[in-house]
Amino acid sequence: MKIIIAYASAGGGHTKAAQAIYNYFKSQGNLEIKLVDILKDSNPFFKYAYTHGYSFLVNYLPWVWSISFYFTYSVRFRKFSKWLAAVLDIVNTPRFRRLLIKENPDYIICTHFSPPNVANFLKKSKKITSKIIAVITDFGVHPFWISVGIDTYAVASDYTKEKLLFEGIEDQRIKVVGIPIDTKFSLVYDKLNLCRKFGMQPDKFTVLITTGSFGMGPIEEIVDLAYKDVQIIVVCAHNKSLYQRLKQRNYASLFIFGFVNNIEELMAISDIIIAKPGGLTISESLSMELPLIFVTAIAGQETENIKFLSSYNVGTCLENAEDIKNTILEFKNNPSKIQATKESIRKIKKPNAVKDLYNVIR
């Protein structure tokens, strides 16, 4: 069986989901698999706009992002915006088109809404015969995902399925598997040994903050307010200025990291996580049974993610550092609240999404 797993490196979630699928499928053997970033050899301006445009807008012009999101979401403008997006995707990715025609795989598994546009165009023109699987990496559904050419939708939850049914997608085309995450988030870790590894106190309530890459939210204010009461881990990713500012505080209970490849170990140490409400981060946190506090949700898919989680009482969005500190202390001082949240998480987490997706094609 020949499979192409396609994504667009416009945000870490789409990439991580594609890599998780690739790694699991590759481990099963007897499959010819390629992992393809459609932006890698695309038109340079198109690539730049995709990879840098999103982060620029959400950081510096969030109101422009909000307008553009709701313009593309609106029923009134949807037909035009979907057509325009499809044309841009098809025109600007010639190498990806040629690859699909040359390989004509059995399945094209897509973790971003752009690859299906290209695949669907080629399928309509009878240049390929592949089945197209769209793996939606959030709990809501943006209209750009919806296409008659998609054979199967792999979705995060029943909530997501209901969204697609409302849009007219047939039940048999929807598979509720979860958002694909790396299998390392399903493993059991020795907290005591990990605390020794990182020089942390295993008996101290620990808060993990992972919004550092974007630098969004009152990260420094949270640290200043809470460091005396809890142990804090901040992952700054590539945000060097945030890393340096936190280092200068020299708090004994503050542990600062740059870019990490072992976030699952830091999650295993932690009691609660403060993060942006992206689909992959949520799924990883749920798999590790971490209560979630969200900050600075971006209008659109992230606010949809919060709606889903709030309905199960496993995540809350707060903007004020004082409110966040108080919520942290509520969890710290009420072990029963932590336990109740974990029980709610167990009802909705889907840590085996990559395995269940694999079973869809077998």
Cβ atoms of 253 and 198 within 8 Å: the answer is no
Cβ(124)–Cβ(149) below 8 Å: yes
Q: How confident is the model at residue 191 (pLDDT cuts 50, 70, 90)?
A: very high
Average pLDDT over residues 61-66: 82
The pLDDT tens digits for 10-53 are 878 899 999 999 999 999 988 999 999 999 989 998 988 888 88
Confidence of residue 209 (pLDDT cuts 50, 70, 90): very high
The answer to whether the pTM exceeds 0.85 is: yes
**Angle at 183 (CA atoms; ends 10, 152), nearest 5 degrees:** 60
pLDDT at 231 over 70: yes
3-state helix, strand, coil in the chain (%, to 5): 50, 15, 35
% of the chain at pLDDT higher than 90 = 77
Please give the pLDDT value at position 319: 85
Centre a 10 Å sphere on the Cβ of residue 146 and count the other Cβ atoms it contains.
19
C-alpha distances out from residue 79 to 76, 93, 136, 163, Å: 8, 22, 20, 18
5: left (phi over 0), alpha (psi -120 to 50) or beta: beta
| Of 67-81, 211-225, 240-254, 332-346, minimum mean pLDDT range | 211-225
Model confidence over 250-268: pLDDT tens digits? 999 999 999 999 999 999 9
Indicate whether 215 pLDDT > 60.
no
- Which domains are present in the chain? 2-180 (3.40.50.2300), 184-348 (3.40.50.2000)
Kindly indicate the confidence band of residue 219, based on its pLDDT and cuts at 50, 70 and 90: very high
Asked if residue 213 has pLDDT above 70, the reply is: no
Q: Judge whether residue 58 has pLDDT over 90.
A: no
Q: How far apart are CA 240 and CA 230, in angstroms?
A: 24
175 Cβ partners below 8 Å, 6+ apart?
152, 153, 154, 155, 356, 357, 360
How many angstroms separate the CA atoms of 170 and 191, rounded? 45
- Which residues make beta-bridge pairs with 294? 275, 317
Q: How far is CA 327 from the centre of its chain?
A: 24
For the beta carbon of residue 272, count every other beta carbon within 10 angstroms.
21
DSSP-assigned letter for residue 262: -
